[in-house]
């Protein structure tokens, strides 16, 4: 998320004009989107724990949150940036 905030400045620094940006974030609710997220998280678990990025307990907690039938959360933001050559 931090990198995305710098993208407009990077484009301007490269000489782009008419630079704009938009950030969107969708609600994360039980259903196919959460099922995909849960499958992805489970597939990455071994590597992420082995690398020290997350603990087993943190993964268990996150998976439990995703499995909650009452889940309402904001999904990761998507930052779109555009511009054009002068």
DSSP of 25-62 = --EE-TTHHHHHHHHHHHHHHHHHHHTTSS-HHHHHHH
Please count the structural domains in the chain.
2
64, 39: one domain = yes
- Model confidence, pTM: 0.64
Cα–Cα distance between 53 and 31 in angstroms, integer?
27
Percent of the chain whose predicted confidence (pLDDT) is above 90: 78
39-73 tens-digit pLDDT: 999 999 999 999 999 999 999 999 999 999 999 99
CA 60 from chain center: how many Å? 19
Q: Which domain holds residue 46?
A: 30-70
The reported pLDDT for the residue numbered 38 is 92
Same domain flag for 85 and 58: no
Q: In the predicted model, what is the mean pLDDT of the chain?
A: 92
Q: 21 and 37: one domain? A: no
The answer on 34 and 21 residing in a single domain is: no
Report the phi/psi class of residue 15: left, alpha or beta, with left for phi > 0 and alpha for psi in -120 to 50: left
**pLDDT on residue 1:** 53
């Amino acid at each position: 998320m931090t990198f995305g905030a710098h993208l407009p400045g990077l484009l301007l620094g490269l000489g782009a004009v008419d630079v704009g940006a938009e950030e969107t974030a969708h609600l994360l609710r039980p259903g196919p989107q959460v099922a995909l997220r849960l499958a992805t998280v489970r597939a990455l678990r071994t590597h992420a724990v082995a690398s020290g990025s997350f603990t087993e307990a943190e993964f268990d907690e996150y998976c439990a949150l995703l499995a909650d039938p009452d889940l309402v959360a904001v999904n990761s933001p998507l930052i779109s940036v555009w511009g054009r050559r002068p």
